[in-house]
Chain A
Amino acid sequence: MITLSINGLPASVEKGTTVLEAARFLGFPIPTLCHKEGLTPYGACRLCVVEIGEGPGARLVSSCTYPAEEGLKVRTASERVMKARRMIIELLLASCPQSKTIQDLASRHNVRQQRFRQEHENCILCGLCVRMCKEQMMAGAIGFRGRGKNRSIGTPFDMRSEECRLCGGCMQICPACQARCTYTEPERAICGGCANLSPPCLEKEQFTDMMCYMSPCVACEIKKD
């Protein structure tokens, strides 16, 4: 067992537990975006920052990937943490303002505007879809491609992937495209999150066993007419 202190409260956790898990166990909320139970932590969005250590040695780390250490002192909502978190939310808003998930985060953290150049990306490169596809759907059909400003998500060679099971899991988990599926115009009714994938619903005829997790989505119904 490892004993650490979170916001002054002592906690004993198993070796291998992350700071995020320990904090949540004690009931301290830490917002996450690229972390989902059942998928390996990835540390992409940095939303889950916490402050560790004390005095001048104190630093910010991503709690979803930081393992609990003996004697570690963690602050989950210090001024420095909140400032960093709000900055991250501003940056997310600057890139994907249409995402319901990000809008909700912004309102919960009282971020009313962002100061950067407004873009309209449909991906924040959180890697959730890639991990979903690989670790839960056992398909490994999509992945990251390129790097730097050319980094994107999609299938190899941008071609219909033979491995894809058309399960829709990637779109279900995507935090950036969820707002898209409420489109009522059928020709625009694609999730857009994984812009390079054809939406499974639109290929339903060829794939009778398709399961889609998007319960409020109406795109499929529109297609039927």
Chain B
Amino acid sequence: MDTERILSIIRSSNGKGGIISILEEIQEEFTYLPEAALRLVAKETERSLADIYGVATFYKAFSLKPRGRHCVSACLGTACHVRGARTIVEEFKEQLHVSPGETTPDKEITFETVNCLGACALGPIVVSDEHYFANVTARGVRDIIQGTKDGTYGSNGRGREDLFSLEVSCPTCNRSLMDKEQYLYDHPAILVNVSMNGKKGRLRISSLYGHFAEIREHDIPNDTIVNLSCPHCSANLRSGPGCVECGAPTASMRVNGGDGVMRICTRTGCSGHMLDLDGEGTGQ
């Protein structure tokens, strides 16, 4: 264990007191709270080890056992439960061969259940590292596990550092599509109108390139091709070449500060997103 690292975490919160934030940081660094770390915290903050241990065992977010490189939590809160979260948990148990609270033997994934993540309307919810999955089905579990192992969603307690945020605007009216009111993963979301079979709604997409979590206002089934339009001038954003993943039409938005274009697939559930910084429209 890295004593220096722990000491610097404790000292950087110097005087501000918050035991919980110190423990959070240590856990983020080591994926769990090593015994020696708790002893150091007690010593440095001049509290009894019994107090620190009490806090560390009180909150479910803290673990005294080493955890895997990635963490997958399935929500078993009331809303997710009635939407079938049980079967999702069973599916994870079967595919990972672990029970909730355990880590796979290869130390890759720690699987947990939680009670409500505050996104009940979108349940069943599964969180893989920093990424939220809405309306999860048992069939989707395999992909989540694979993506998690590949590090697509970050690693335990930490977002992926190679993700960057884009600011985009409407190619027709040039007005910004960024929604300063709704942040997703610490960055303003991209807000567009979505319509399909006469139903209209709004769609917010994470502006982190390569991330693309979405919040849909309507229950739009997966695998549906939708129309995306600008919320200001209502111009249809659909244009350009088909999605590299599935061939469906793509919608494009201008990347601010250059000639770049970002294209996203209009088929719901498709992860086809392309960034095309020279504006030639070939995709990558």
Residues of A within 8 A of B (CB): 130, 134, 140-147, 155-157, 161, 163
Contact A142 B50 (CB under 8 A): yes
Contact A163 B49 (CB under 8 A): yes
- Listed residue (A140, A143, A144, A156) with the most chain B CB atoms within 10 angstroms of its CB: A156
Question: A52 → chain B, closest Cβ, in Å?
Answer: 31
Interface residues of B in 45-67 (CB under 8 A from A): 48-54, 57-58
CB neighbours of B38 from chain A (8 A): 156
B35 at the interface (CB under 8 A from A): yes
Contact B57 A145 (CB under 8 A): yes
Contact A145 B53 (CB under 8 A): yes
Contact B54 A143 (CB under 8 A): yes
CB neighbours of B57 from chain A (8 A): 145-147
A157 is contacted by which of B48, B51, B53, B58 (Cβ under 8 Å)?
B53
Q: A156-B38, A157-B35 are in contact. Are A143 and B58 (CB under 8 A)?
A: no
CA distance A173 to B154 in the complex (A): 51
B54 is contacted by which of A141, A144, A161, A163 (Cβ under 8 Å)?
A144
Question: B227 → chain A, closest Cβ, in Å?
Answer: 49
Residues of B within 8 A of A (CB): 35, 38, 48-54, 57-58
A140-B49, A142-B50 known; 17 new pairs, CB 8 Å cut-off, are: A130-B50, A134-B50, A140-B48, A140-B51, A141-B50, A143-B48, A143-B50, A143-B51, A143-B53, A144-B54, A147-B58, A156-B38, A156-B50, A157-B35, A157-B53, A161-B50, A163-B48
CA distance A144 to B58 in the complex (A): 9
**Count: A-B pairs, CB below 8 Å:** 37
CB neighbours of B52 from chain A (8 A): 156
Contact A140 B50 (CB under 8 A): yes
CB neighbours of A143 from chain B (8 A): 48, 50-51, 53-54
Contact B48 A134 (CB under 8 A): yes
Question: A138 → chain B, closest Cβ, in Å?
Answer: 10
Closest residue to A152 on the B side, CB-wise? B57
Instruction: Give me 21 A-to-B residue pairs in the complex whose CB atoms sit less than 8 angstroms apart, sorted by A's number.
Output: A134-B48, A134-B50, A140-B48, A140-B49, A140-B50, A140-B51, A141-B48, A141-B50, A142-B50, A143-B48, A143-B53, A143-B54, A144-B58, A145-B53, A146-B57, A146-B58, A156-B49, A156-B52, A156-B53, A157-B35, A161-B49
CB neighbours of B51 from chain A (8 A): 140, 143
CA distance A143 to B57 in the complex (A): 11
Question: A155 → chain B, closest Cβ, in Å?
Answer: 7
CA distance A145 to B57 in the complex (A): 6
Question: B37 → chain A, closest Cβ, in Å?
Answer: 12
CB neighbours of A146 from chain B (8 A): 57-58
Closest residue to A141 on the B side, CB-wise? B50
The 7 closest A-B pairs by CB, nearest first: A140-B48, A143-B50, A156-B53, A143-B54, A145-B57, A156-B49, A146-B57
CA distance A145 to B48 in the complex (A): 13
CB neighbours of B49 from chain A (8 A): 140, 156, 161, 163
Question: B100 → chain A, closest Cβ, in Å?
Answer: 15
- Listed residue (B38, B48, B50) with the most chain A CB atoms within 10 angstroms of its CB: B50
CA distance A147 to B52 in the complex (A): 14
CA distance A141 to B48 in the complex (A): 7
Closest residue to B60 on the A side, CB-wise? A147
CA distance A130 to B57 in the complex (A): 16
CB neighbours of A140 from chain B (8 A): 48-51
CA distance A62 to B234 in the complex (A): 62
Question: A127 → chain B, closest Cβ, in Å?
Answer: 11
CB neighbours of A155 from chain B (8 A): 50
CA distance A161 to B51 in the complex (A): 13
CA distance A156 to B52 in the complex (A): 9
CB neighbours of B48 from chain A (8 A): 134, 140-141, 143, 163
CA distance A155 to B35 in the complex (A): 13
